[in-house]
Structure 1
Amino acid sequence: MMAKHPEDVRLVLRYVRLHVGSEEAIRLLEAARKQGVFAPVLEAVLESQPQWHDDATAAAAWEAAALAGLDVDKARSHMMSPDIIAAIERDTQDAKTLGVKGTPTFFVNGKPLLSFGAQPLYDLIRSEISQSR
C-alpha cells in the first residue's frame, strides 16, 4: 500500500512495553535509529523475537541487531539517553490513551482496525484514501 500510494500512506510505528524483553528491544531499536540502521535492525529483531520475548536482557535481539549492522557498544552507550526515554514515555502514554492491549495493533487515521488481517487493513487504508480525495 505504501508503494502504491507514496503520497497518501505513511507508516508510524509506536512501541508498547507488554512483555519482559520489550523495553530492552525498544531501547535497542531507538539506538539503531540513531545509527541509521533502523530498518534492517527492526527486521532482524522482529525475526528473532521468539528467542528474546521473555528475556529481560533481550540477548538474542542484540545478537540479531549486531548481525544486521548495529554497533552494539555504541548502542548500549546511547540506550538510556533522554530522547530515547522520552520516546518510550510518549509511546506508552499514547498506547494507554488509545487502549492498546496487544501488538500488533493498527490504526488508520486514528481509526482502529477492527478485524485483524492484511485484507481488512488494505480495505481500511483504501477507504481512508478515497475519503480524503
Structure 2
Amino acid sequence: MKTRTLALSLGAFCLLVLAAVFVFYDGSGSPAESTTVKQSPLVRDSSPVIGPENAPVTIVEFFDPSCEGCRAMHPYVKQIQGIYPDKVRLVLRYVLFHKGSEEAVRILETARNQGVYVPVLDAVMKAQPQWHDDAEVKAAWEAAEAAGLDVEKARSQMNSPAIDAIIQQDAADVKKVGITGTPTFYVNGQPLSKLGPQQLYDLVTSEVNALK
C-alpha cells in the first residue's frame, strides 16, 4: 500500500480524551535504548532515547509522566515506532508540571540505569490513573517494581547528582524552547502543529518518505 493510516482501536474515544486533557500551563520484545545523541535545546546527550541511535527520523516528546495527554499518546507513539522500526527513534524530555512528576522521572531514570527503562516506562504510564497527582506516586513505584525495577537500589540512587543534572537541564531547555503544555512533539526539529495520533503519524511519514 502506498498510504497507510494508524490502526487505532478506540481512536475516537482517545482523541476525545486528548482534547480534554491536553492542558496548557502559564510559565510553565523492547526497542533499543541509547544515551548518545546530538546536543541541542531539543536533544541532549543525557536524554533517554528509544529506538536505533542513528535513526534518520527523531521524534522529540516533551513529556510529563503525570500528564494524562502523554498517557493517551504513549501507545500511538509506540505504534508509529513499530511501523518504522529502523527509521524512527524517540527522545524523551522531562517536563514537571504536576505533583509527583519529579519522583516519577526519578523512577524512570533509575530504571534507565538498571537497563529496564522501556518496560518500566510502559508500566508507569499504564498505572498512571492510580498515581496521577499523588506526591508519593505509590502506584508508580509498585508498577515499576512489577516491571523489573530493583526498588531498593532505585531509592538509594534516585537523588544522585547525575539524575539531578538531567532534571535541571531539561527544565532549562523547557524554558528555552518555550514549552507551555504537554505532550509537545517535534519531528526532525519540526513542531507538531496540531496534537493527535494521525497528525503525528503523518508528520513522521512525511519525514520517512523524504529519505527516499
The answer to whether the superposition gives a TM-score over 0.5 is yes
Provide Cα deviations, 1:84-113, integer angstroms capped at 9, x if missing partner: 111111111222222222222211012111
| 1:127 maps to 2:206 | yes
Structure 1 residue 17 displacement after superposition? 0.4
Decide which of 101, 106, 119 is 1:27's aligned counterpart.
Answer: 106
Identity value in percent:
59
Structure 1 residue 55 displacement after superposition? 1.4
Aligned to 1:10, what secondary structure does the other structure show? strand
Q: Which amino acid aligns with 1:47?
A: K
**Structural RMSD (CA):** 1.5
Q: Which amino acid aligns with 2:171?
A: T
Counterpart Cα distance in 1 of 2:160 and 2:83: 37
Aligned to 1:119, what secondary structure does the other structure show? helix
Structure 1 residue 32 displacement after superposition? 0.6
Alignment TM-score, normalising by the size of structure 1 = 0.91
Aligned to 1:27, what secondary structure does the other structure show? helix
Aligned to 1:40, what secondary structure does the other structure show? helix
| 1:52 maps to 2:148 | no
Counterpart Cα distance in 1 of 2:210 and 2:114: 38
Q: Which amino acid aligns with 1:49?
A: Q
Structure 1 residue 132 displacement after superposition? 4.3
Counterpart Cα distance in 2 of 1:77 and 1:88: 17
The structure with more strand, counted as a fraction of residues: 2
Which structure 2 residue ranges, 5 or more long, are not aligned?
1-79
Counterpart Cα distance in 1 of 2:166 and 2:211: 29
- Which moved further from structure 2: 38-47 or 88-97? 88-97
Alpha-carbon distance change, 101 to 119 in structure 1, aligned in 2, over 3 angstroms? same
Counterpart Cα distance in 2 of 1:5 and 1:39: 17
Which structure 1 residue ranges, 5 or more long, are not aligned?
none
Structure 1 residue 67 displacement after superposition? 1.1
Decide which of 62, 87, 109 is 2:188's aligned counterpart.
Answer: 109
Alignment TM-score, normalising by the size of structure 2 = 0.59
Residues matched between the structures, number: 133
Counterpart Cα distance in 2 of 1:130 and 1:97: 30
